[in-house]
Amino acid sequence: MASITLKDLVKAYGDTEVLHHVEGEISDGEFIVVVGPSGCGKSTLLRMVAGLETVTSGTICIGDKVVNQLEPADRDIAMVFQNYALYPHMSVRENMAYGLKIRKISKDEIARRVEEAADILELRPYLERKPRQLSGGQRQRVAMGRAIVRNPQVFLFDEPLSNLDAKLRVQMRLEIRKLQQRLGVTSIYVTHDQVEAMTLGDRLMVLNGGYVEQFGTPIELYDRPATTFVAGFIGSPAMNFLPATVSAGMATLGNGARLANAGAANGAVTLGIRPEHLLQDDAGPVRVTVELVEQLGANSLLHGKLEGTDIEMVVSQPGHMSAAAGTVMGFVPANGALHLFHAETGKRIEP
Amino acid sequence: MVENRPVLNVITHLVLIIGIVIVALPIWITFVASTHDAVRMTQAPIPMLPGTHFWENFSQTLLGSGLSGTETAPVWRMLLNSLTMALMIALGKIAISLISAFAIVYFKFPFRMLFFWLIFVTLMLPVEVRILPTFEVVADLGMLNSYWGLSIPLIASATATFMFRQVFLTIPDEMLESARIDGAGPLRFFWDILIPLSRTNIAALFVILFIYGWNQYLWPLLITTDTDMTTIVMSIKQMLEAAEQSPQWNIIMMTALLAMLPPVFVVVAMQKLFVQGLTETDK
Ligand SMILES: Nc1ncnc2c1ncn2[C@@H]1O[C@H](COP(=O)(O)OP(=O)(O)OP(=O)(O)O)[C@@H](O)[C@H]1O
Ligand SMILES: [Mg+2]
């Protein structure tokens, strides 16, 4: 078990910097999810912690040891790859035992650990099979098993579930979380799926273009997103963004509508409202021209435009709802549900 | 295409049978010739059915001195020479190519691509082209009339290096990374992972290279003068020209028959791996 510290971490390939001054403190036993769009540098960050990529500048500590120069095998980590990277010519048992064998651990001890891991992951019946004789979910579990038997200080996962079908993904997600809680191993988990990130992580690190946008608990990210990027990335359907000008606590939207409680900001801002925080109110200031209603059963999603403008909006209402295209409906933001962001930098303005 | 028309069936079978007869006839004649005595083989027309002298020819060829009245080595000795040479060439080529492909694919060293292209360019220089300088070198090293001389000049192989490079490139990077995390150094990775994953390709290459080595003619002819080092393929030609005799077809054909057996045996024994190695792509 160990904490991980990332200090001023930079990664550059030649002249292009792909990770910019990443900072992060991960405490012992924490489950961290690194999330962000494709190409933002998630895998690169993870692979630097694993020792598979060199560090351009900055330091990585595992426990209180700087590991920048250590080989992956000496960092006491285990990694689960997206395509599992099982050795195709070895049986499940040999796959799990390989790392231990290299470490010259005694045969009895290896057998004990492999069988223990197999029990945890319900892989007992498959121990003598080759990876190609297993289903995707079983292979995934073998990859997990290979990580567990090592008894490492840190687990690293690089999109381990993205090759599975949706249902299995939900199930494996739960299993990974339970397993991590049970073993209490510090973990870093990379995904581009925000639902996976929200449900798994103790804390989320949101990366965008190589910058850390925000690092906090799922609820912090949802309630107080630090930037428009985080605000748009976390939560589904995504937050509505409306350009507005604020003066004396009143926000004026593009179509002239005025909203109260706009806080301490002044001048041009981007106003953010989550679809689920708009309450129907015929006299409400936010008026939406309906284009389409999606009935999801438990709730309804109303797609439309802010009246008189071209700004796309989504509103989520509980229960059933129907509205003909072209009708205009009024909404009022729930209390404290307005997020204000600087119009140019996209940074959050605290109310 | 799945068709089920009797006439078509008959025709396709007919074509196939004709093809087989054309290919198999020389082999049949070889076999028949090896079962008659020398006298019968000099009379026209040559026999088309087996005679009764098979075992007699067999033991005279394999264990006796082969052609009567000459001083060639017994055929078992030539078979042994050929086998040693073919095995050394095949195994040597595989070992060298595996190692060089490993270096080229997995290590970053200065002039890596230059080395690769140098190896690649040697594809254009088969033994026959460089035969005189090679002979000179082998002679200077005192390797004439030795197994080393027979095999070493033929061992370097661009084809096999290139093939293993392609095989290694199909192995996902994660395999290497996962081995690194498991603590395997380069040599362990090579032994425990690359070699087993290239198993079928190695087998396929072994078959091809064994036959290549077995069929070498010009090179052994050049560098062996000692009759004890004669290989079977060159001996067949020599038997035809054996001094002041009409060719003893029964013995020559028996020798030819024996010369065919080891390659056939290798192909049959490794057939399954061979086909897998040439067709399988999934790693
Ligand atoms: N070897 C390399 N040389 C140059 N640039 C690279 C190299 N590897 C990655 N990059 C760049 O670094 C950036 C981050 O890549 P990375 O693989 O970390 O993305 P990612 O966040 O994992 O994306 P995905 O979700 O698609 O896996 C990308 O823009 C990529 O083009
Ligand atoms: Mg990635």
A72-81, A177-186, B124-133 — which is least confidently predicted? B124-133
* Nearest ligand, CA A42: 1
Radius of gyration in angstroms for the set of CA atoms belonging to chain A, rounded to a whole number: 24
- Do A206 and A212 meet the contact criterion of CB atoms below 8 Å apart? yes
Residue B14 lies in a domain: no
Q: What is the mean pLDDT of chain B?
A: 84
- CA dist B181 and A150 (Å) reads 10
Interface contact A52-B172, CB threshold 8 A: no
Omega prior to A237 cis, within 30 of 0: yes
Find residues 61-80 of chain A whose CB sits inside 8 Å of chain B: 71-73, 77-79
Percent of chain B with pLDDT over 90: 29
Residue B150 lies in a domain: yes
Give the bridge partners for A187, in sequence order: A31, A155
Count CB pairs under 8 A between chains A and B.
55
Domains contained in chain A, CATH given: 4-231 (3.40.50.300), 241-342 (no CATH)
pLDDT reported for residue A222: 93
Residue B223 lies in a domain: yes
**DSSP-assigned letter for residue B71:** -
Is the minimum distance from the CB of A17 to ligand 1 under 6 angstroms? no
* Nearest ligand, CA A34: 1
Q: Report the C-alpha dihedral over residues B261, B263, B269, B272, rounded to 10 degrees.
A: -140
Can you spell out the DSSP letters for A297-325?
SSEEEEEEEETTS--EEEEEEES-----T
Can you spell out the DSSP letters for A167-180?
HHHHHHHHHHHHHH
Domain of B261, CATH number, reads: 1.10.3720.10
pLDDT reported for residue B5: 80
Residue B7 lies in a domain: no
Q: Tokens at residue B104, please?
A: 């080229």
* B182: nearest CB among A73, A82, A88: A73
**A50 in B contact zone (CB under 8 Å):** yes
Query: Taking the mean position of all CA atoms in its chain, how far away is CA B9?
Result: 36
> By alpha-carbon position, which residue is closest to atom 5 of ligand 1?
A13
Q: How far from A351 is each of A42, A75, A246, A336, CA to CA, in Å?
A: 32, 44, 12, 9
Domain count along chain B: 1
B7-B13-B17 Cα angle (round to 5): 145
Residue B112 lies in a domain: yes
- CA dist B158 and B205 (Å) reads 13
pLDDT reported for residue B228: 81
Give the model confidence (pLDDT) of A134-189 as tens digits. 998 899 999 999 999 988 999 999 999 888 888 888 888 998 998 899 899 999 99
Whether the pLDDT of residue B142 is over 60: the answer is yes
Whether the pLDDT of residue B280 is over 70: the answer is no
Radius of gyration in angstroms for the set of CA atoms belonging to chain B, rounded to a whole number: 24
Is the minimum distance from the CB of A40 to ligand 1 under 6 angstroms? yes
Q: What is the mean pLDDT of chain A?
A: 91
Q: What is the mean pLDDT of residues A98-111?
A: 93
Interface contact B180-A52, CB threshold 8 A: yes
What is the reported pTM? 0.82
Give the bridge partners for A9, in sequence order: A22
Q: Report the C-alpha dihedral over residues B57, B62, B67, B68, rounded to 10 degrees.
A: -80
Range of the domain at B156: 34-281
Q: Tokens at residue B20, please?
A: 């087989």
Interface contact B181-A72, CB threshold 8 A: yes
pLDDT reported for residue B121: 83
Residue B123 lies in a domain: yes
A50-54, A117-121, A244-248, B122-126 — which is least confidently predicted? B122-126
Is the minimum distance from the CB of A301 to ligand 1 under 6 angstroms? no
pLDDT reported for residue A10: 94
Interface contact B175-A87, CB threshold 8 A: yes
Residue B27 lies in a domain: no
Residue B160 lies in a domain: yes
Give the model confidence (pLDDT) of B194-220 as tens digits. 999 998 889 888 999 999 999 988 888
Give the model confidence (pLDDT) of A255-298 as tens digits. 888 888 777 778 889 999 999 999 998 888 899 999 999 998 88
Maximum pairwise Cα distance, chain B:
75
- CA dist B93 and B25 (Å) reads 34
pLDDT reported for residue B69: 56
